[in-house]
Structure 1
């Protein structure tokens, strides 16, 4: 059975699992804080069929935008309007609370006919405007903290702000230095040893951590390396004289000596070969897919690489998207 969009996914799941209770829908590329009890209470008090979490944005062209009345009821909803057409700056945050009545509504013959004609059933473009236009009680609920993680730039910006305290993230370990948001994780006996090793190097000034940082379990970092405003996940190995600034390093990454990674995202199990004579440089919102292998001396600027590719030594790319092995040769500069 074809899935015609985000709202169609909801319809299919409601029917398949015979859901007859209220449903909370959360899109996966969000980071937010919310008082769920208050969210549910507001939904029930208003008698809403749908309550949508909203957040103020500047770039209205990228979101569904709601216009509210004085009671927080949504009067109008426009998906990705121009700045001139936007009824407000309140954006759909992709968090919905739906009453059981929704199951009947999504199976109404009138709505099914619209879906068949459009061959699409999306929350923002189709379902929310339909409910509002038909007079169903649709309400907004404003969030104080919300991040859209849908692009690499937003992901890194969100990571930076969260590391610096924009959200109360739950980390079991205490900060390694008073008044500084630097955490090194370690649960098991072996990972605790790795944690103590990083703290010792930091205290002896053999490892430099600037700004804020979260370093995961079992991670090893060589001497004279510098970590700044970054997240390094579990089971990573960083060599000596490595620089990581404002970047996200996923699980089980290996980074060679003298590598420089700035404002970029490195996927899981990536290998970055690098030496003092031939350092590898990754910067300017480059994104490296899982299990990529970069040989020494590579230079990537605003470049994205699909998972699993192997890049030969000394290759240089600027503003490229490497999807195949043919791209590796043809797009080098």
Structure 2
């Protein structure tokens, strides 16, 4: 028996990822031409998870996730996996642990459960994770990841058997950290998890509303002497909590995943194009011919979605181009992501930036280290450096924004 049920808490406003999340659930932000959480759902289903409970809180989190995924039955047609998606009842929660508690109680789940965060992209051997958890008879097992920069995470102090003694939250210096093992937010909970909140320590946390795993529940569980273990995962793991981390995750995955993981065909070395319709097959043939002839210049790793139009002399380097996007003649996309149905004008350049959905960048404009929300218009000849533009906003022709947020 392995892990059958997973819970994904999806709450909060994802402030650090704005402007991408002003009107969109963080879990549904598109990455590699799919909603972020789709990678998690499919990955878990492929490892035997049969049921995933979405611990959604708030209007955008519920609406965006439910309207796209529904009960999840279409995933079998698309990916060949069978998984049932269920949703936490409408409730105000005071942390991700409360979302898990409500979900397990409502659906009567009394078995080991996997908890993953809605803004994480990860790769983990779930069978090994579960066997380690069972072998140690753990109340809770936390997936840990070796990181060089530990200052942004909770860092585990462990004994020789990998029992977690404590966490040091966001140590100011590397020397202050007890190890280089950080909390990934991937948890295996024993079937006794709900009973903890009926005891003295857990019930006190609940009464006081201290229901965040990292800040409240895990320290209390360790303090109560319950066995909490750390499982070191070797797979990739990204907390997609900011535009910088989003781009880092997109670039890593683009450089390391293969055609099947990218739902694409590799038409040339490290050039992936999605779609299987007659139009998509014709686009693949056209792009292959134009890249080979030099009409489109490509370097590094490139992912191109469906029904894309690319002008003559366009240049793509380590680029993600989403569905229905239009690139004008001479447009350049470098180390960047352009989301679906956007338009880049002739001779525009997007560098180390994210262009949100249905946005338009004018002729000759230059974006570097910048993020556009959805439905943004940037005029011709504009220059954006370290800038953020909120959804539905416009930047005029020739305007320069540097170190600025247009809200």
TM-score in terms of structure 2 length: 0.73
Contact 2:139–2:226, Cα closer than 8 Å, also in 1? yes
**Which whole-Å CA distance do the structure 2 matches of 1:167 and 1:123 have between them?**
34
| Aligned partner of 1:75 among 153, 165, 180 | 165
Residue deviations 1:103-149, cap 9 Å, x none? 111343432323444x4321111111111111111111112122222
Between stretches 106-115 and 90-99, larger displacement belongs to: 106-115
Contact 2:267–2:284, Cα closer than 8 Å, also in 1? no
Query: What root-mean-square deviation, in Å, do the aligned CA atoms of Structure 1 and Structure 2 show?
Result: 1.8
Report the counterpart of residue 283 of structure 1 in structure 2.
368
Between stretches 74-83 and 37-46, larger displacement belongs to: 74-83
What secondary structure is seen at the aligned counterpart in 1 of 2:267?
A: coil
Quick one: structure 1 residues 280 and 70, their matched pair in 2 at CA, closer, same or farther if it must change by over 3 Å?
same
Report matched runs for 1:164-313 at 5 Å.
164-165=255-256, 170-177=261-268, 180-274=269-363, 279-284=364-369, 286-313=370-397
**Which whole-Å CA distance do the structure 2 matches of 1:17 and 1:266 have between them?**
40
Contact 1:78–1:129, Cα closer than 8 Å, also in 2? no
- 1:39 to 2:129 alignment: yes
What secondary structure is seen at the aligned counterpart in 2 of 1:302?
A: strand
Report the counterpart of residue 91 of structure 1 in structure 2.
182
Quick one: structure 1 residues 123 and 307, their matched pair in 2 at CA, closer, same or farther if it must change by over 3 Å?
same
Residue deviations 1:1-27, cap 9 Å, x none? 531112122122222222222211111
Deviation at 1:70, TM superposition (A): 1.4
Residue deviations 1:251-282, cap 9 Å, x none? 111111111000001111111121xxxx1111
Contact 2:201–2:224, Cα closer than 8 Å, also in 1? no
In terms of Rg, which structure is larger?
1
Report the counterpart of residue 15 of structure 1 in structure 2.
105
What secondary structure is seen at the aligned counterpart in 1 of 2:266?
A: coil
**Which whole-Å CA distance do the structure 2 matches of 1:20 and 1:306 have between them?**
44
Report matched runs for 1:96-175 at 5 Å.
96-117=187-208, 119-144=209-234, 145-165=236-256, 170-175=261-266
Residue deviations 1:75-121, cap 9 Å, x none? 1122223324322111011111111210111343432323444x432
Gaps of 5+ in 2: 1-90
Aligned residue pair count? 315
Quick one: structure 1 residues 121 and 247, their matched pair in 2 at CA, closer, same or farther if it must change by over 3 Å?
same
Between stretches 15-24 and 262-271, larger displacement belongs to: 15-24
Contact 1:265–1:287, Cα closer than 8 Å, also in 2? yes
**Which whole-Å CA distance do the structure 2 matches of 1:167 and 1:63 have between them?**
29
Contact 2:265–2:272, Cα closer than 8 Å, also in 1? yes
**Which whole-Å CA distance do the structure 1 matches of 2:264 and 2:117 have between them?**
29
Gaps of 5+ in 1: 324-333
What secondary structure is seen at the aligned counterpart in 1 of 2:218?
A: helix
